[in-house]
Structure 1
């Protein structure tokens, strides 16, 4: 079980556990293929040295501290999901450091002295473009060995691309986020190395789907999580101790009324249980089509029939 420690600068050693360890730095939003490459390299070194593997991550997203945000921030992976994914990669401990103005004002050499050394890092690893402060030309990985002064080893991992071509763009959380905003699950999921996941709670809706022959669960999704674009999707849902296939709608139900709020409704295949209040995990597998305002209820039902067949066909093939 991966241990999670929520810590604040200045560090109080009564709030966290630290032993000699390999420490990986990064925000790791999405724990995508680039992040996985960094973690695996650090894990290999930890195993060679017989040391535990730890991750130093942050909250909130660094951009919130360093610059004005034009839109609300949405994470690809909330902290609990991030910790679970890191655990699957062999991480023993996660330190989630509250990123504040005071911390961000640290000179990089002071970050080493007041954060990395108290965490008893014997090896500090990160991606080639990771920054541990400002300005970028002083707080980059190229300078870290100088600040370490031989007190810990520095492991820098090069960029990861989808095609393995060094001339291509690196796998990046911002590109995954942009792909999701466009409904491009193929790119997003390929970059993540798994299906994009959101969580939520089953809540009451209008119950209109039941009258149409397509009963749905309505999912309240936490505000900070990243939903794909409006549209119809193939999904896999973990609910009430079961994994269920389904088709999901992210939309405003524009056939019935304009300017409605965005909702997430999922028609679970071969499932008929009352599950209000149940927590769910939704894996977004494939984009089927965009949201459409139909001329009649009959036209809507006909399309939903086609969507359900397409969903069943997806699971037959996959």
Structure 2
């Protein structure tokens, strides 16, 4: 997949001189609804005999247009998002910098520069996609800016028995620790990537050594609790089972920061400095402050049994 980074005002020489079908959106999480948009765009590209392109942004537009909290955390970093696009068969991804020149751009100029000048024969987007202020730059007003220079495919919201599948809904599920439900909406296993760093080494003293993972500060982690997880070291295909905790380790101290720690089952190796991917499978329990380290050790033993049961591991 070819990735082209555009920053306003961009150089037109960056744009391949060939027709495309363009799927447009922020696609945070690349969930089932997003995948539907891209799949429909892919079918249209195949029908027209042109390449499939995706246009996304380098940061969440809601940070500007909807005054989203500045500590907003992403479901997928740009690196992960690009990997998903490639897996879905996208030929070209345009990553547009959401900078000071782009923000005030009027809808007509945006469509002219980021659809027509990209040689799009068809634009595919979800029903709620906006390309500026929602009241004037929405899918309903798009035909007046398109001026019949390209066709438009508006993809209805993908819904399940609960309602619309959305990034917001997935974020809320993760905050509650409901990773299995979030995975259903994502159509993939939710994951975090980070470096293994040194911690307090308390787990080692208790007989349950952990790897402490420094997750990218911009990446959303599930809510505090203990989880059954799989871990893969970047560059390898093998996955290791483990039990992960997200919390402040209140049993061993007060006012500690939230950490992500994983005890890997049947694993012994020095992996400091390695990059790992944590795949979140199942919520096991909430975090607790235990009255003694002995009580904590008993709970860790129970957590390991629960993890082994979840993954059908028989150590007998």
CA RMSD of aligned residues (A): 1.5
| Aligned-partner Cα distance in 1 for 2:267–2:69 | 41
> Does 219-228 or 202-211 show the bigger shift?
202-211
Give the superposition deviation at 1:193.
1.2
| Aligned-partner Cα distance in 2 for 1:195–1:16 | 34
Give the superposition deviation at 1:18.
5.0
The answer to whether residue 159 in structure 2 is matched with residue 161 in structure 1 is: yes
Q: 1:17-56, CA deviations, whole angstroms, 9 ceiling, x for partnerless residues?
A: 4521010110000001111111111111111111111110
Secondary structure at the aligned position of 2:81 is classed as: helix
Distance 1:130 1:69, change over 3 A: closer
Distance 1:18 1:274, change over 3 A: farther
The answer to whether residue 198 in structure 2 is matched with residue 199 in structure 1 is: no
| Aligned-partner Cα distance in 2 for 1:232–1:16 | 47
Secondary structure at the aligned position of 1:14 is classed as: helix
Give the superposition deviation at 1:278.
0.4
| Aligned-partner Cα distance in 1 for 2:43–2:98 | 28
| Aligned-partner Cα distance in 2 for 1:154–1:201 | 43
Structure 1, unaligned runs of 5 or more: none
- TM superposition score normalised by structure 1: 0.94
Give the superposition deviation at 1:71.
4.8
Where does residue 264 of structure 2 map in the other structure? 268
Does structure 2 conserve the Cα–Cα contact (< 8 Å) formed by 1:7 and 1:16? no
Secondary structure at the aligned position of 2:140 is classed as: helix
| Aligned-partner Cα distance in 2 for 1:38–1:114 | 22
| Aligned-partner Cα distance in 1 for 2:279–2:16 | 34
Q: 1:62-92, CA deviations, whole angstroms, 9 ceiling, x for partnerless residues?
A: 1222244435011000001001111111111
Give the superposition deviation at 1:108.
1.3
| Aligned-partner Cα distance in 1 for 2:66–2:135 | 18
Does structure 1 conserve the Cα–Cα contact (< 8 Å) formed by 2:9 and 2:101? no
Where does residue 233 of structure 1 map in the other structure? 227
| Aligned-partner Cα distance in 2 for 1:106–1:69 | 20
| Aligned-partner Cα distance in 1 for 2:285–2:263 | 15
Structure 2, unaligned runs of 5 or more: none
Distance 1:244 1:291, change over 3 A: same
Q: 1:190-244, CA deviations, whole angstroms, 9 ceiling, x for partnerless residues?
A: 1111211110000111111111111111100110000001110011111162311
Give the superposition deviation at 1:186.
2.7
| Aligned-partner Cα distance in 2 for 1:234–1:191 | 19
Where does residue 150 of structure 2 map in the other structure? 152
| Aligned-partner Cα distance in 1 for 2:303–2:14 | 51
Does structure 2 conserve the Cα–Cα contact (< 8 Å) formed by 1:65 and 1:100? no
Q: 1:85-108, CA deviations, whole angstroms, 9 ceiling, x for partnerless residues?
A: 111111111111011243122221
Runs of 4+ in 1 over 4 A off after TM superposition: none
| Aligned-partner Cα distance in 2 for 1:186–1:278 | 27
Where does residue 276 of structure 2 map in the other structure? 280
Give the superposition deviation at 1:11.
2.2
Does structure 2 conserve the Cα–Cα contact (< 8 Å) formed by 1:251 and 1:263? yes
Size of the alignment, in residue pairs? 311
Where does residue 305 of structure 2 map in the other structure? 309
The answer to whether residue 207 in structure 2 is matched with residue 213 in structure 1 is: yes
Where does residue 91 of structure 1 map in the other structure? 90
Where does residue 71 of structure 2 map in the other structure? 72
Give the superposition deviation at 1:187.
2.3
Where does residue 62 of structure 1 map in the other structure? 61
> Does 198-207 or 141-150 show the bigger shift?
141-150
- TM superposition score normalised by structure 2: 0.94
Give the superposition deviation at 1:151.
1.4
